[in-house]
Amino acid sequence: MLSVEGLNQYYGGSHILRNVGLDAKLGEVTVILGRNGVGKTTLLKSLMGLVPVKTGRITLGGEDITQRTPYERVRRGIGYVPQGREVFSRLTVEENLRMGLATQPGSTPIPAELFELFPVLKQMLGRRGGDLSGGQQQQLAIARALAAQPRLLILDEPTEGIQPSIIKDIGRVIRMLAQRGGMAIVLVEQYYDFAAELADQYLVMERGEVVQQGRGADMAADGVRRLMSI
């Protein structure tokens, strides 16, 4: 579904991403791991078109989207959950979810499935996003990204600052979405246990480049936890 080849990115004179490549397949969770400052979030922003790519190629479903704008990428089937959630604090839960339908006709209803995945949101449709707990905001951010039924879901550290019970709920939803086979999922994560439980394949980044990759089932044998702690 997603293919990235030779991606390079700079901030001023700093070389942030160095020839990064990855493939994310339908029905799989691709986990990107690494310590703070290694370029994980920059990579996701590059995939979304939020920062321009210096060199390299990004294809989605065989289509080159390297020069596409963020909204064009959303229309082509990418859903994005940014680090820090970034819900609209003054808008209600319902209005936040409708923002996820911005590329659809105005009469498009909010998919009922979102409330099956995250029942708490149905109970809080009229509550403002800024009044939700951190865990509830994260569920809202994921539901908003899912509203347009993307083919590729990108999540940037969804467990950050979230209570353990909701981390389990989010993990359950991610695994369920992948197992259905109609979506590829790219997950950036620092919480090793969460990543290891979900990963079909993994990549470890260091200083802007991929230094190790493999199948999720091999993470323990490959010593990924040690790489995360160095």
Residues 6+ apart with CB under 8 A from 224: 33, 192, 196, 202, 204, 212
**pLDDT for 128-141, tens place per residue?**
999 999 999 999 99
> What distance in Å separates the CA atoms of residue 52 and residue 117, rounded to the nearest whole number?
34
Predicted model pTM: 0.93
DSSP annotation of 213: E
DSSP annotation of 96: H
**pLDDT for 108-129, tens place per residue?**
899 999 999 999 999 999 999 9
Backbone angles phi, psi at 65, to 5 degrees: -115, 15
Q: Write the DSSP string, 39-64.
A: SHHHHHHHHHTSS--SEEEEEETTEE
CATH of the domain at 94: 3.40.50.300
pLDDT at 230 over 90: no
**pLDDT for 145-156, tens place per residue?**
999 999 999 999
pLDDT band at residue 104 under the 50/70/90 scheme: confident
pLDDT attached to residue 13: 81
Q: How many domains would you assign to the chain? A: 1
What is the residue range of 157's domain? 2-229
pLDDT at 215 over 70: yes
Backbone angles phi, psi at 74, to 5 degrees: -65, -45
pLDDT at 229 over 80: no
Which amino acid is located at 118 in the chain?
F
**pLDDT for 37-88, tens place per residue?**
899 999 999 999 999 888 999 999 999 999 999 999 999 999 999 988 899 9
pLDDT at 96 over 70: yes
State the number of CA atoms in the 13 A half-sphere of 192 facing the CB.
12
% of residues, the chain, pLDDT over 70: 100
Letter string b/e over residues 77-99, b meaning 16 or more CB atoms within 10 A of that residue's CB: bbbbbbeebebeeeebbeebbbe
Q: What six digits make up the tokens of 172?
A: 């359950």
CB distance 185 to 178 below 8 Å: yes
Which amino acid is located at 56 in the chain?
G
Determine the Cα angle at 19 with ends 28 and 177, to 5°: 15
Average pLDDT score, the chain: 93
pLDDT at 226 over 80: yes
